[in-house]
Chains A and B, each alone.
Chain A
Amino acid sequence: TQLLEQSPQFLSIQEGENLTVYCNSSSVFSSLQWYRQEPGEGPVLLVTVVTGGEVKKLKRLTFQFGDARKDSSLHITAAQTGDTGLYLCAGVDDYKLSFGAGTTVTVRA
């Protein structure tokens, strides 16, 4: 059972379009992380958000953490084919990560 719900499950867009992925939790974690995982590889950390209301930007990626620290979103502007992958959010609780089921993003050329 996943404590974090991600939506949508699948997303297919054309190169140059924008997309948003959502992550909602029934629990409050000390922080929340976003990862990208490509086929045959392990997840790679993109960002950690800690403070409610926090917004972080990494080039074309914008991450938001909800005021109550139970929801988060990842927005990609002008998506590129290299953005294709499985996007996972994870709640950080002491020593372990609790992952959502992920959103599979496909960016078509």
Chain B
Amino acid sequence: ETGVTQSPTHLIKTRGQQVTLRCSSQSGHNTVSWYQQALGQGPQFIFQYYREEENGRGNFPPRFSGLQFPNYSSELNVNALELDDSALYLCASSLGGASTDTQYFGPGTRLTVL
């Protein structure tokens, strides 16, 4: 059984560009959550997808969008990148979207915006 994987590991972009980050869920998990972790901070919830539908969203602007595919892998897209978007982006998969379902985190993608 493979755990949660994310790609790429590191990414450097410039302001105004667009970026797509990818996440493969743990086997059997149908829910993916995305978090942004700025340096020296805890992760902040961006949104969650359950069976290809957005299940909830945190306090992030619409230029942060996502997709979940039939195999339950997921993408996070960020448009019009800003310097403050520099962070570690984590995805976490779980069996379901309930509060009692444990979230398993991937290693993250480190995004640097110059």
Contacts and interface: CB of A to CB of B under 8 A. Distances in A.
Interface of A: 2, 4, 6, 30-31, 40-45, 48, 88, 90, 92-102
Contacts of B58: 96
A30 B4 contact: no
Given A95-B33, A95-B56, A101 B41 contact: yes
Contact of B107 (A42, A88, A90, A96): A42
Interface residues of B, number: 27
Secondary structure at the A interface, as helix, strand, loop or mixed, is: strand
What is the interface of chain B mostly: helix, strand, loop, or mixed? loop
Nearest to A50: B100
16 contacts: A2-B41, A6-B42, A30-B99, A31-B100, A41-B107, A42-B4, A45-B104, A88-B42, A88-B43, A93-B99, A95-B48, A95-B56, A97-B35, A97-B45, A99-B35, A102-B42
A96 B56 CA distance: 8
Nearest to A30: B99
A43 B33 contact: no
Given A31-B99, A96-B33, A2 B42 contact: yes
Interface of B: 4, 33, 35, 40-45, 48, 50, 55-56, 58, 90, 92, 97-100, 102-108
A93 B45 CA distance: 11
Nearest to B31: A95
A40 B107 contact: yes
